[in-house]
């Protein structure tokens, strides 16, 4: 039969089996060590005491009567019976090795005393001494002791395993909910030992990652299909035109190809997000000045940099430059399209963080849409795309432990707040 069939499947069964094996092993070790280092030396000392007492009484000429507390028998007699307890058997063995013919016998016994018969040599008389009853406990006592220990061990094992199994069982139920698509924020707290709580945190983090990947996959598929359908339809219609008309529409086809290429590039950027790029330190003022120059040269914006922090020292900005530049480029592109072509850039210093504000002078967005935009979703609007650029910006800012928030300016226009926490050196 396969030995694995004896291995319990449950944690409780395995724990009990391992504790039982450990219990038997430790009890056996204690039994051997106790006899080897406690009981056997005591039996040897007891045998020496009996042998010395017998010789001392004989040398002193003690009265050899057959009555009283001391009794004498002939060397040829066999009073009592051989020692039948472990301690006395060991004492008898040590006594026999001390002198040829030396022996120890027991009995008869009564309720008040036990007779010990000692013979110091083969030709010496038997000396009988009354001793208090010796009760070393029998097998019944040993099994009872093991039973009590086993019961306490099983009870302890049940309590220990219960503390582990209950939160694990709840965690298994919550894992099934995650598998059905429930958000980790809706999960009930598991509790339990520290290791189980760490496992809960790991599963929750994994569920968040899976949920994010599922959303991004959905966005990727639906976004690409939606964004490419219109230019592909225009190109398909153009290809059905006659030769002269087809050549006339060549410029518009190139625009459609460029639009599709830009769309695909945005979706690929969302997948990569620059998380493999090396982090470097940049000076905030220099970075803002460089971005302002990019906005003017490549996007044709009218940029004004407001120095609200003066000459105050600013902590360096830890960033992935190419990824962070993509955030600014996306905001510049939105300013060019919807922000009136004007942009104000301002550095604001807060306790433990630095904020860069970009304000355009367009119509802004409806107040009802500010919340969804800050949540990472852009409501569908004519000419505003699918919001993939916003997703890219939010993800890159999260990669920098930063926050991107939008708000309408009081005098018109939209303000983008890019907040970067200070990093320890």
Q: Is 136 exposed, middle or buried (0-12, 13-18, 19+ CB in 10 A)?
A: exposed
Q: Which of 358, 354, 359, 391 is nearest to 373 (CA)?
A: 391
Q: How many C-beta atoms surround the C-beta of residue 45 within 10 A?
A: 12
Does pTM surpass 0.85?
no
Backbone angles phi, psi at 404, to 5 degrees: -115, 120
Residue 232 neighbours by CB under 8 Å, 6+ apart: 256, 260
Average pLDDT in the 107-120 region? 77
Residue 187: inside a domain: no
Rounded to whole angstroms, the Cα distance separating 408 from 309 reads: 23
Domain boundary among 112, 136, 160: 136
Q: Is the pLDDT of residue 111 over 70?
A: no
- For residue 323, what is the domain's CATH number? 3.30.565.10
Q: Which of 169, 198, 200 is nearest to 187 (CA)?
A: 200
* pLDDT computed for residue 248 by the predictor: 63
Tell me the residue length of the chain. 425
Q: What are residue 106's DSSP bridge partners? A: 81, 116
Query: Cα angle at 117 between 116 and 118, to 5 degrees?
Result: 115
Tokens 């010796």 map to which residue?
A: 134
Domain boundary among 113, 136, 159: 136
How far apart, in Å, are the Cα atoms of 111 and each of 79, 83, 88, 131, 137?
Answer: 19, 18, 19, 11, 16
Alpha helices for 180-320 (secondary structure H): 194-239, 243-248, 250-272, 284-299
End-to-end CA distance of the chain: 64
Residue 251: inside a domain: no
Rounded to whole angstroms, the Cα distance separating 54 from 255 reads: 123
Q: Give residue-wise pLDDT tens across range 411-423.
A: 889 999 999 999 8
Residue 148: inside a domain: no
* pLDDT computed for residue 263 by the predictor: 67
Rounded to whole angstroms, the Cα distance separating 83 from 285 reads: 100
Average pLDDT in the 374-398 region? 67
* Higher pLDDT, residue 199 or 310: 199
Q: Give residue-wise pLDDT tens across range 161-188.
A: 777 777 777 777 777 777 776 665 655 6
* pLDDT computed for residue 414 by the predictor: 93
Q: Which two tokens stand for residue 113?
A: 């005393």
Asked if 66 and 48 touch (Cβ cutoff 8 Å), the reply is no
Residue 194: inside a domain: no
Strand order in the sheet with 353-360: 302-306, 342-350, 353-360, 414-421, 403-408
Asked if 282 and 323 touch (Cβ cutoff 8 Å), the reply is no
Compute CA 234 distance to the chain's CA centroid, rounded to the nearest angstrom: 55
Average pLDDT in the 14-21 region? 77
Q: To the nearest whole number, what is the mean pLDDT of the chain? A: 79
Residue 242: inside a domain: no
Query: Cα angle at 419 between 418 and 424, to 5 degrees?
Result: 140
Residue 87: inside a domain: yes
Rounded to whole angstroms, the Cα distance separating 256 from 245 reads: 17
* pLDDT computed for residue 404 by the predictor: 93
Q: What are residue 424's DSSP bridge partners? A: none
Compute CA 107 distance to the chain's CA centroid, rounded to the nearest angstrom: 67
* pLDDT computed for residue 295 by the predictor: 93
* pLDDT computed for residue 19 by the predictor: 77
* Higher pLDDT, residue 88 or 142: 88
Q: How many C-beta atoms surround the C-beta of residue 151 within 10 A?
A: 10
Run of H or E including 289: helix 284-299
Rounded to whole angstroms, the Cα distance separating 148 from 151 reads: 5
Greatest Cα-to-Cα distance within the chain, rounded to the nearest angstrom: 149
Question: Considering its fold, how many domains does the chain have in total?
Answer: 2
Domain boundary among 91, 107, 136: 136
Residue 39: inside a domain: yes
Domain of 92?
3-136
Residue 112: inside a domain: yes
């Amino acid at each position: 039969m396969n030995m694995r069939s004896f291995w319990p499947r449950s944690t409780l069964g395995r724990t009990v089996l391992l504790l039982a094996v450990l219990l038997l092993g430790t009890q056996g070790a204690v039994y051997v060590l106790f006899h080897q280092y406690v009981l056997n030396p005591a039996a040897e000392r007891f045998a020496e005491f009996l042998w010395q007492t017998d010789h001392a009484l004989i040398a002193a000429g003690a009265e050899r009567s057959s009555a009283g507390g001391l009794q004498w028998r002939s060397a040829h007699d066999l009073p009592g019976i051989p020692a039948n307890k472990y301690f006395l058997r060991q004492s008898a063995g040590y006594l026999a090795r001390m002198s040829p013919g030396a022996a120890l016998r027991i009995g008869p016994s009564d309720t008040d005393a036990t007779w010990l018969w000692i013979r110091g040599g083969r030709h010496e008389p038997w000396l009988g001494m009354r001793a208090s009853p010796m009760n070393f406990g029998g097998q019944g006592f040993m099994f009872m002791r093991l039973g009590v220990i086993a019961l306490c061990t099983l009870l302890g094992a049940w309590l220990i395993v219960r503390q582990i199994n209950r939160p694990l069982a709840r965690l298994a139920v919550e894992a099934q909910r995650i598998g059905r698509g429930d958000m980790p924020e809706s999960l009930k707290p598991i509790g339990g030992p520290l290791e189980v709580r760490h496992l809960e945190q790991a599963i929750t983090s994994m569920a968040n990652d899976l949920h994010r990947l599922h959303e991004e996959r959905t966005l990727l598929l639906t976004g690409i299909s939606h964004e490419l359908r219109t230019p592909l339809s225009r190109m398909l219609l153009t290809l059905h035109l006659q030769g002269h008309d087809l050549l006339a529409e060549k410029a518009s086809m190139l625009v459609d190809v460029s639009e599709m290429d830009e769309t695909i590039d945005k979706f690929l950027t969302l997948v990569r997000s620059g998380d493999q790029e090396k982090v470097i330190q940049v000076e905030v003022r220099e970075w803002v000045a460089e971005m302002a120059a990019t906005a003017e040269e490549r996007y044709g914006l009218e940029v004004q940099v407001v120095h609200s922090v003066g000459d105050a020292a600013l902590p360096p900005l830890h960033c992935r430059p190419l990824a962070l530049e993509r955030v600014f480029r996306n905001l510049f592109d939105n300013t060019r399209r919807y922000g009136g072509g004007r942009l104000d850039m301002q550095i604001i210093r807060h306790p433990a963080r630095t904020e860069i504000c970009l304000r355009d002078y367009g119509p802004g967005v409806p107040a009802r849409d500010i919340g969804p935009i800050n949540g990472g979703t852009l409501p569908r609007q004519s000419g505003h795309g699918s919001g993939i650029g916003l997703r890219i910006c939010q993800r890159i800012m999260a990669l920098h432990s930063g926050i991107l928030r939008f708000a309408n300016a009081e005098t018109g226009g939209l303000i983008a707040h890019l907040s970067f926490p200070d990093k320890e050196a």
